[in-house]
Amino acid sequence: MKKIRLVAKDGKAKKVNSISLWLGAMSHISANHLKEHFDMATQNSELEGVDLNIETSDDAFHPQAQDILLKSVDIDS
């Protein structure tokens, strides 16, 4: 959440439209569970209702297989 807010601030965002994440195969969380946490974390904030796009990987040998990566933040500035 800190990184998303930093990107929005640096881009002088008036509104965050969508967020794209990459979910590694060994990150130990499902896309649905991550979405639930995102929705809870953004309740009553400027990010509530923002589209969350999650790309999942099934490559357990990917160098970042244990990570969740922020791919992009689409903003209106």
Q: What is the pLDDT of residues 32-43, one digit of tens each?
A: 999 999 999 999
- What mean pLDDT is reported for the chain? 95
Q: What is the pLDDT of residues 41-60, one digit of tens each?
A: 999 999 999 999 999 999 99
No. of H helices and E strands in the chain? 2, 3
pLDDT at 1 exceeding the cut of 90: no
Sign of CA dihedral 4, 46, 41, 49: negative
Which of the four pLDDT bands, split at 50, 70 and 90, describes residue 28? Answer: very high
pLDDT at 40: 96
Q: From CA 70, how far away is CA 3, in angstroms rounded?
A: 8
**Residue 5 is encoded by which pair of tokens?**
């807010």
Q: Global pTM? A: 0.88
